[in-house]
Amino acid sequence: MRDSLGLAAYRTLSGRRAAPDYAPTLDRPSGEVVWIHSSEAGNTRAIADLALQLIRVRHGTHVVLTLSDGDFDLPDVEGLHVVDLPDDHPATARAFIAHWRPDVIIWAWGDLQPNLILEAADYGAHMMLIDAASDGFDGRRDRWLPEVPKRLLATFDHVIARNADARDRLVQMGRSKQRIELGSPLYPSGEMLPANDTDIADVTDALAGRPTWLSAHTARAEGRILVGAHRLAVRTSHRLLLILHATSTADSAHFMDLTRTADMRAVYWGDGQLPDDNCQVLVVDADEELGLWLRIAPVTFLGGSLKPEHSVFDPYIA
């Protein structure tokens, strides 16, 4: 497709300045590579969760992730490669695409970078624009060079707008309404922790339908408050069980002491004991078994939320 006058002018002007050096810090992995990018500040977690889900469900896929929020902490997951978004200089964009050779491009929100988008399309990557929002196209280029976003939108094989307003904005910029899918905003999804099916069955049988709540990643300073709250709650629900998850074995011992001081009957899961009808608090501390307790308890308290000096347990995991 021939470039419009506005796009040709943009590419010419952007190429007149000196090209920033592009020196990749990682080699391209073998196999399928998906490049995911989002320019929307504040939605990094949702994009990161999308990348992690893609790696989990599509065996052998590698995701190259570029984000607007560079200070977001990402897990060290095999197949996830977090790199800086290169400058939108024609030469730099060409070098970036030539190095990573992405099979699929997933561009989220908006703020399309013309040279990067066109280089990827020319390379032959499958192009997807997802979670498109009307405010993602409020930049000066989109306002004063309307033919530029129109040309860029035409390169995408799939376009998904997050709401009707976003769809209408894309139509206004030249994308056919019939070629826009209407979706919903992309939200963080969290990571479902694994659990052993035998353990789930054993604990479920032992509880025999008892009402249960979980305090996950409980800060040491919160133990006394939670044990006190539970002691009050069992006055009106005498079968209620608290699963008190500690972040260390030392904190588990501390929580066991607190329950004894409060004259409550407690069992430590690390001793291999199942809670019986007389157990009021089950103290646990193995992070790898947290998926079990999240499945057992219908209500979860997010540890750390009572003490601002502690990090709060991730609500999306729960």
Q: How confident is the model at residue 232 (pLDDT cuts 50, 70, 90)?
A: very high
Domain annotation covers residue 227: yes
Q: Are 76 and 212 in contact (CB under 8 A)?
A: no
CATH number at residue 292: 3.40.50.2000
pTM over 0.95: no
In a domain, 318, yes or no: no
- Average pLDDT over every residue of 217-229: 96
Is residue 235 domain-resident? yes
Last residue of a domain, one of 182, 207, 224: 182
Q: What mean pLDDT comes out for the span 64-86?
A: 85
- 105-128 average pLDDT score: 96
What is the mean predicted confidence (pLDDT) over 238-245? 97
Mean per-residue pLDDT, 136-162: 86
DSSP state of 294: H
Residues 6+ apart with CB under 8 A from 76: none
Q: Are residues 88 and 174 in the same domain?
A: yes
**307 belongs to a structural domain:** no
pLDDT at 1 > cutoff 70: no
* Residue 284 · residue 245 · CB < 8 Å: yes
Q: Of 130, 153, 182, which residue constitutes the final position of a domain?
A: 182
pLDDT over 70 at 113, yes or no? yes
Residue 312 located in a structural domain: no
Burial class (CB in 10 A: 0-12, 13-18, 19+), 13: exposed
Q: Is the pLDDT of residue 6 over 70?
A: no
Cα 220 to chain centroid distance, Å, stands at: 27
Residues 295 and 166 in one domain: no
- Based on the fold, state whether residues 17 and 164 are members of the same structural domain: yes
Residues found in the chain: 318
Q: Is residue 315 part of a domain?
A: no
pLDDT tens-digit profile of 270-289? 999 899 999 999 999 989 99
| Residue 281 lies in domain | 197-302
Number of domains in the chain: 2
Q: What is the pLDDT of residue 14?
A: 72
pLDDT at 257: 97
Same domain (yes/no): 217, 267 = yes
Query: Is 313 among the domain residues?
Result: no
**Helices and strands (H, E) in the chain, number of each type:** 11, 12
What is the pLDDT, as a whole number, of residue 89? 92
Helix axes 249-261, 223-233, angle to 10 degrees: 40
Q: pLDDT averaged over the chain? A: 91
